[in-house]
Structure formats: structure tokens, C-alpha cells
């Protein structure tokens, strides 16, 4: 459970096999996290071998966010399960609901701002409710019903990855179209099935942000624009680091370990920096785009790292290893720096 874990970064390299499930929780008492910073830049992916005692204390996990519907507002969780495909809870998986428009393009909130007005409420195992201030009546989606007939599977190709989908009911399409487009139709809602063992995935499992980086960004925005919230960056985990950890230090975190002991932990491995688009300019409270083009404009001034047109903010991780255990005791934290 994330609220009771140690998160660490290390360069110990092994074959990336997931061997189990780990319950992760973030309670009122923040979960423990530890981090080890590689001696060489992560892009070189050095393969030195290190002992377990080289995991060092980083800080705590402040927030766990779960996104059942791609583009909608997140659910803030106290406990979540984890697999090689990301977060899971109540039989739901990360971005298990996706929408497509008339052009058969995947819908995301950067183009359809009203998607952010949709709130998801989990009612039970694979059952959820969609709500929005743009429409007085919510709608129930029961994945148990939708997935009862496996023959109704359609496939869509996106970025060379085939996604298998099950189409939702007409009333779900209509509700979503009214909320987002203010029309009777135009969007179609699907359940995105979890990939089969041989299939590639089209999203990164976990996105991690350092809260101190957002605090620093808001200091830079003071004279130019309103402050931004971590939620504008669509992160899964927000790290509240201990004193001395510098803003943007997540650039150096190659390995993360949640759990105080190796045999009682989840290990995540760096996948890529998170390149930012104009989506970060959308205020999540009123679903409006910032006319000043902030914070994207400010990020472009000092956070260009791997792409000349897209600044970096946050880091994507793959799930490297999971252990068959559940941690509920409060663990301690440690960290080291390059």
C-alpha cells in the first residue's frame, strides 16, 4: 500500500518480469518512499550491480490518482493494486474507458476540454458512475455486462499498437456526446481491454511527479500567470520529498522502490521523460484554456531536455517487479543524489 511504503531508486538490473500483485495504499499518513540516483545519466542505462542497502531515502507519496476514463478527472485513492499494466482497483484498470470521435480519433482532454468535467465514481466491482456539472443526470456503466459477450470485440490501430475494444451502449454514447460536445451524438465510448501477454501497450503504466517541481514552476509563474496545480499534469503519483531534494530532481530517478524491504516491495524502472503539450494550459477547475499559454510557455524556457519543441515535466515508469505481499505498516524513507 502506497501510504505505507518506502520508495527507492537503484541501478540494480534484472530481467523485467512481474511475479505478482502488490497492494498499494496512500492513507492520511503519507506512504514511505525511497530513491537512489544513478551515477551516470539514465539515458546511458548503466548496468552496475548494487546491494540492497544502497536504496536511499527520498520522501513520501502524497497523492495516488487513478484514471478509469481517459481524459476525465482522476479518482484520488487511498489504496490501489498494481500490475505491469499500471494501477487497478475494483476490477477496473487504468484508462479502461476511452472515447473516439466521428473521425475515429481517440478523444483526449487537450482537444475536448469538457472531458475534464467528468467525474468517475466507483460503485462496486467493475461498476462505475459518470457525473458532470454539464449534465444533471449521471449514467451507470457496468463493465460486467459489457464484457459478458467476448465476441463483440473491435480493434483500432494507434501509433502502431492494436487496441482491442468493446463498445458501450447507445445511451453511454449519447450521454458523453451531450456532456462534451453538447450534441446528441458525435462521440462513442468503449471499454479498452487489457493487452494479451503477446500484445504491446499503448500507454506508460505510471507517471510520477515531484511536488517540489510544481512549487518551483509556480514561483516562476508568479509575475506572468495564475498558479497551476499538480492535477493539470495528469500524474498518477505525487512525491512529497524530504528537505534537501531539489526541484526537478526526478530527472535523475532511474529506479523507484516502494516498500522498505526488497521482498516486500514494488520496483519501477524509468521509461521516459513526460513530454508536455498544451494540455497543461487547461485549468482543471473550470475546464478553460489559459489565454497566456501558461505554464507551457514558461516550461519551454527552461525544461527543454529531449525534444526541441516539447518541454519535460514528470517521468514515466514501467513496473519492473512486484512481490506477493501487502504492506500496511508505516515504513521509513531514504535518498541519495548524483
pLDDT tens-digit series, residues 160-188: 788 899 999 999 999 999 999 999 999 99
- Work out the pLDDT band at 30, boundaries 50, 70, 90: very low
Give the domain-ending residue among 179, 202, 225.
Answer: 202
Are 48 and 20 found together in one domain? yes
- Domain boundaries, position 138: 96-202
Q: What distance in Å separates the CA atoms of residue 147 and residue 149, rounded to the nearest whole number?
A: 5
- Work out the pLDDT band at 205, boundaries 50, 70, 90: confident
Burial grade of 243 (CB within 10 A; 0-12, 13-18, 19 or more): exposed
The three-state secondary structure class of 121 is strand
Strand partners, 163: 156
Q: Average model confidence (pLDDT) for the chain?
A: 80
Are 226 and 323 found together in one domain? yes
Report the length, in residues, of the chain: 338
Are 189 and 221 found together in one domain? no
Are 247 and 328 found together in one domain? yes
Does residue 13 register a pLDDT over 70?
A: no
Are 213 and 198 found together in one domain? no
Query: pLDDT at position 1, please?
Result: 52
Are 149 and 39 found together in one domain? no
281-297 core/surface letters (b: 16 or more CB in 10 A; e: else)? bbbbeebeebeeebbbb
Phi-psi region of 184 (alpha: psi -120 to 50; beta: other; left: phi over 0): alpha
Are 1 and 149 found together in one domain? no
Residues 6+ apart with CB under 8 A from 328: 1, 4, 25
Query: pLDDT at position 36, please?
Result: 39
Q: What distance in Å separates the CA atoms of residue 67 and residue 145, rounded to the nearest whole number?
A: 21
Are 80 and 221 found together in one domain? yes
Give the domain-ending residue among 158, 175, 202.
Answer: 202
- Answer for the pair 181, 173: CB distance below 8 angstroms, yes or no: no
Give the domain-ending residue among 202, 222, 244.
Answer: 202
Are 88 and 216 found together in one domain? yes
Domains: count for the chain: 2
CA dihedral 191, 71, 110, 313 (to 10 degrees): -120
Are 144 and 177 found together in one domain? yes
Are 78 and 142 found together in one domain? no
| 40 lies in some domain | yes
Bigger pLDDT: 314 vs 15 = 314
Are 74 and 117 found together in one domain? no
Mean pLDDT of the region 205-229: 92
- Work out the pLDDT band at 94, boundaries 50, 70, 90: very high
Mean pLDDT of the region 122-145: 96
| 280 lies in some domain | no
- Answer for the pair 338, 39: CB distance below 8 angstroms, yes or no: yes
Most confident range (mean pLDDT) of 42-46, 309-313, 317-321 is 309-313
Does residue 2 register a pLDDT over 60?
A: no
| 284 lies in some domain | no
Amino acid at each position: 500500500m502506497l501510504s505505507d511504503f518506502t520508495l527507492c531508486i537503484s541501478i540494480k538490473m534484472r530481467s523485467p518480469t512481474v511475479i505478482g500483485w502488490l497492494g498499494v495504499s496512500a492513507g492520511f499518513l503519507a506512504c514511505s518512499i525511497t530513491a537512489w540516483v544513478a551515477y551516470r545519466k539514465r539515458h546511458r542505462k548503466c548496468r552496475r550491480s548494487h546491494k540492497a542497502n544502497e536504496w536511499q531515502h527520498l520522501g513520501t507519496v502524497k497523492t495516488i490518482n487513478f484514471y478509469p476514463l481517459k481524459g476525465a478527472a482522476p479518482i484520488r485513492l487511498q489504496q490501489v493494486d498494481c500490475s505491469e499494466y499500471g494501477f487497478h482497483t475494483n476490477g477496473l484498470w487504468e484508462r479502461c474507458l476511452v472515447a473516439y470521435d466521428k473521425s475515429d480519433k481517440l478523444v483526449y482532454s487537450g482537444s475536448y476540454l469538457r472531458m475534464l468535467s467528468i467525474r468517475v465514481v466507483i460503485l462496486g466491482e467493475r461498476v462505475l458512475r459518470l457525473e458532470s456539472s454539464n449534465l444533471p443526470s449521471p449514467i451507470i456503466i457496468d463493465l460486467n455486462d459489457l464484457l459478458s459477450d467476448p465476441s463483440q470485440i473491435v480493434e483500432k490501430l494507434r501509433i502502431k499498437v492494436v487496441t482491442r475494444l468493446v463498445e458501450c451502449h447507445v445511451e453511454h454514447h449519447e450521454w458523453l456526446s451531450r456532456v462534451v460536445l453538447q450534441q446528441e451524438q458525435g462521440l462513442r465510448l468503449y471499454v479498452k481491454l487489457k493487452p494479451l501477454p503477446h500484445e504491446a501497450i499503448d500507454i506508460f503504466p505510471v507517471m510520477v511527479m515531484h511536488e517540489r517541481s510544481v512549487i518551483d514552476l509556480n514561483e516562476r509563474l508568479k509575475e506572468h500567470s495564475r498558479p497551476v496545480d499538480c492535477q493539470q499534469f495528469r500524474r498518477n503519483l505525487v512525491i512529497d520529498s524530504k528537505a534537501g531534494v531539489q526541484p526537478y530532481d526526478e530527472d535523475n530517478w532511474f529506479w523507484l522502490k516502494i516498500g522498505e524491504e526488497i521482498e516486500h516491495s514494488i520496483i519501477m524502472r524509468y521509461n521516459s521523460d513526460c513530454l508536455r503539450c498544451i494540455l497543461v494550459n487547461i485549468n482543471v477547475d473550470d475546464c478553460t484554456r489559459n489565454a497566456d499559454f501558461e505554464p507551457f510557455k514558461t516550461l519551454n524556457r527552461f525544461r527543454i531536455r529531449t525534444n526541441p519543441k516539447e518541454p519535460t515535466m514528470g517521468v514515466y515508469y514501467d513496473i519492473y517487479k512486484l512481490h506477493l505481499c501487502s504492506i500496511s505498516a508505516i515504513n521509513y524513507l531514504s535518498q541519495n543524489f548524483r
